[in-house]
C-alpha cells in the first residue's frame, strides 16, 4: 500500500469504527487477563457468557489462585480447552498474588512468563492497559494480508511488518479496526467485497 492509501485506510477506519475497543467485558486488570486467556481460540461472546459467574465466585487474583480446579472447570466448561485454561488461570492468579503482590506486570517479557500467556495474549493485555502493542489474531492476520499491508506467513512476521508500516500511535486502534473489519466485512470464508469501503484500495477486492 502506498503512503496515501495507508492514510486513506486509517481515515476510513476512523469513520467506520469510531470506538475501537475490545469486545470482551472486563473492569479490572484481574478480569482483563483472565478474559484474554480464556478467549484464545474462542469467541468473545462465549467468554462474556462465563466470566460473570467466574468473577462473582472469584473476584481477585488471590481468590482465583486458591480455587479448586474442578470448580473452575465446571464454570468455564463451554470454553474451548477449558481444562488447560482452568489450570492456567489458577496458576497465573497464584503467581500474580503471591510473587507479584497482586499487580499485573506491564512489560511484555514479564507477562509472557505467566502460565497461559503467549506473545499474542501478552500483546492484547498490553493494548488494554493503554500500551502501544499490536496483537495479531486470526482476523488481523487475514485482513492485513488481504489488504496488502503484510505478507508474513505467521502472526509474528505480520506483527513485525505492521509495526514497520504504521507509527506506534496507530497500533492499538489498528488492532481493533482489523478485528472489527474481519468480523463484520472481510470474513474468512466469504469476504463481502461488494459492501467493503476499502475495495478501491484493496488488492484482493472481488
Q: Give the binding site for ligand SF4 (CB under 6 A).
A: 146-147, 185-186, 191-193, 196, 198-199, 202, 204-205
Nearest approach in angstroms of CB 119 to ligand SF4 is: 25
Whether 113 is catalytic is no
Q: Which residue number, 75 or 178, has a Cβ lying nearer to ligand SF4?
A: 178
Answer whether 132's CB lies under 8 Å from 107's CB: no
Among candidate residues 44, 94, 137, 200, the one labeled active-site is: 137
Among candidate residues 44, 56, 120, 163, the one labeled active-site is: 120
Own/partner long-range contacts of 90-93 (Cβ < 8 Å, ≥24 apart)? 90/64, 90/65, 91/115, 91/116, 92/33, 92/34, 92/37, 92/116, 92/117, 93/30, 93/34, 93/58, 93/61, 93/62, 93/63, 93/64, 93/65, 93/67
Nearest approach in angstroms of CB 186 to ligand SF4 is: 3
The three three-digit cell numbers of residue 31, written as one number = 478480569
Q: Which residue number, 105 or 191, has a Cβ lying nearer to ligand SF4?
A: 191
Q: Which residue number, 22 or 199, has a Cβ lying nearer to ligand SF4?
A: 199
Nearest approach in angstroms of CB 18 to ligand SF4 is: 19
Nearest approach in angstroms of CB 159 to ligand SF4 is: 19
Whether 120 is catalytic is yes
Q: Which residues are catalytic?
A: 120, 137
Amino acid at each position: 500500500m502506498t503512503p496515501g492509501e495507508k492514510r486513506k485506510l486509517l481515515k476510513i477506519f476512523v469513520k467506520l469504527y469510531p470506538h475501537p475497543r475490545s469486545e470482551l467485558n472486563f473492569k479490572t486488570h484481574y478480569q482483563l487477563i483472565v478474559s484474554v486467556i480464556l478467549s484464545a481460540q474462542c469467541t468473545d461472546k462465549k467468554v462474556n457468557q462465563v466470566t460473570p459467574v467466574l468473577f462473582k465466585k472469584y473476584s481477585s487474583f488471590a481468590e482465583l489462585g486458591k480455587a479448586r480446579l474442578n470448580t473452575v472447570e465446571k464454570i468455564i466448561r463451554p470454553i474451548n480447552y477449558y481444562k488447560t485454561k482452568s489450570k492456567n488461570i489458577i496458576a497465573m492468579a497464584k503467581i500474580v498474588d503471591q510473587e507479584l503482590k497482586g499487580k499485573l506486570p506491564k512489560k511484555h517479557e514479564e507477562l509472557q512468563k505467566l502460565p497461559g500467556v503467549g506473545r499474542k495474549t501478552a500483546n492484547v493485555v498490553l493494548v488494554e492497559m493503554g500500551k502501544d502493542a499490536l496483537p495479531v489474531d486470526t482476523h488481523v492476520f487475514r485482513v492485513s494480508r488481504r489488504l496488502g499491508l503484510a505478507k508474513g506467513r505467521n502472526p509474528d512476521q505480520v506483527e513485525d511488518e505492521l509495526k514497520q508500516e504504521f507509527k506506534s500511535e496507530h497500533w492499538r486502534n489498528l488492532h481493533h479496526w482489523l478485528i472489527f473489519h474481519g468480523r463484520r466485512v472481510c470474513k474468512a470464508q466469504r469476504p463481502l467485497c461488494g459492501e467493503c469501503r476499502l475495495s478501491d484500495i484493496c488488492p484482493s477486492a472481488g
